[in-house]
Amino acid sequence: MQDLLPQRIVCLTEETTEWLYLLGQEQRIVGISGYTVRPRRAREEKPKVSAFLSAKIDKILALQPDCVFGFSDLQAEIASLLIKAGVQVTVFNQRSVDEIFSMLYQVAAMVGEAEQGLVRLQGMRAELEAIEHKAASFKRRPKVFFEEWDEPHISGIRWVSELMGIAGGDDVFPELAVQSLGKDRIIADGQNIVDRAPDIIIGSWCGKKFRPEKVAARPGWQDVPAVRTGQIFEIKSADILQPGPAALTDGVAQMHRIFSQWEALHA
């Protein structure tokens, strides 16, 4: 039966790499994304064959993968080139918390670890429910602006918004969170953010270091509650913008700690 499962997997994004390592199936991975930092040792053990929007197709083909995992419509061109070269490609397009859980279960099943995967996912669900239960006791929930990019301003994607709610905060741009593409979550006029008066600002600029002092110095932002009280934080993109185990564990836990500290001061 094991011979029927993928033996040589290339992961074009980090979440499937991290998940396969958690499942003890890292020996199946033959290539990873250059952005991979979870787990750290993957960078030392596996060839880096892709960025996010580009990939070294020749290098991937030389690895002779029998399965490639990708993420989102943004990798459609990479997927197309590999498919035309005869490679099996599975591209997931998860945007919500439930879709992340579904993706993780499917990957576990594809490598023969459905039972272990289900147990681990049930544990993650239980942790989320525990966090949500603690947050339910908040006497006051903070209004939160999650900034995924700064120029232009891009607000948080759906799973971030959902995890924010579980952690005890209220997304100030919930209507944008349902938009799957970053271009549809652009806030062209920063005054719209000021007007929504977030109590907390969380930045996670995908691909570059978040600069809270730069946020605080934006013209007209001095009266934003989050700026006035110094409630500006970073959550690393690898912990929250990776739609896999990291966001469901470390990312949501970091948000809950930030919100809990705020609530203790403002209840």
What average pLDDT does the segment 243-256 reach? 98
pLDDT of 3 reads 76
Q: How far apart are CA 138 and CA 121, in angstroms?
A: 26
pTM score, whole prediction: 0.95
Q: What is the pLDDT of residues 47-75, one digit of tens each?
A: 999 998 999 999 999 999 999 999 999 99
pLDDT of 1 reads 61
Structure tokens at 258: 């930030």
pLDDT-above-90 percentage for the chain: 94
pLDDT band at 161 (very low <50, low <70, confident <90, very high): very high
What average pLDDT does the segment 13-40 reach? 97
| Contact by Cβ (8 Å): 138, 267 | yes
- What are the residues whose beta carbons fall under 8 Å from the beta carbon of 46, sequence distance 6 or more? 17, 29, 30, 31, 32, 36
pLDDT of 81 reads 98
What average pLDDT does the segment 133-149 reach? 97
Q: How far apart are CA 172 and CA 149, in angstroms?
A: 16
What average pLDDT does the segment 81-91 reach? 97
**Has residue 207 got a pLDDT over 80?**
no
- The mean predicted confidence, pLDDT, of the chain is 96
**Has residue 133 got a pLDDT over 90?**
yes
pLDDT-above-70 percentage for the chain: 99
**Has residue 197 got a pLDDT over 90?**
yes
Q: How far apart are CA 101 and CA 122, in angstroms?
A: 10
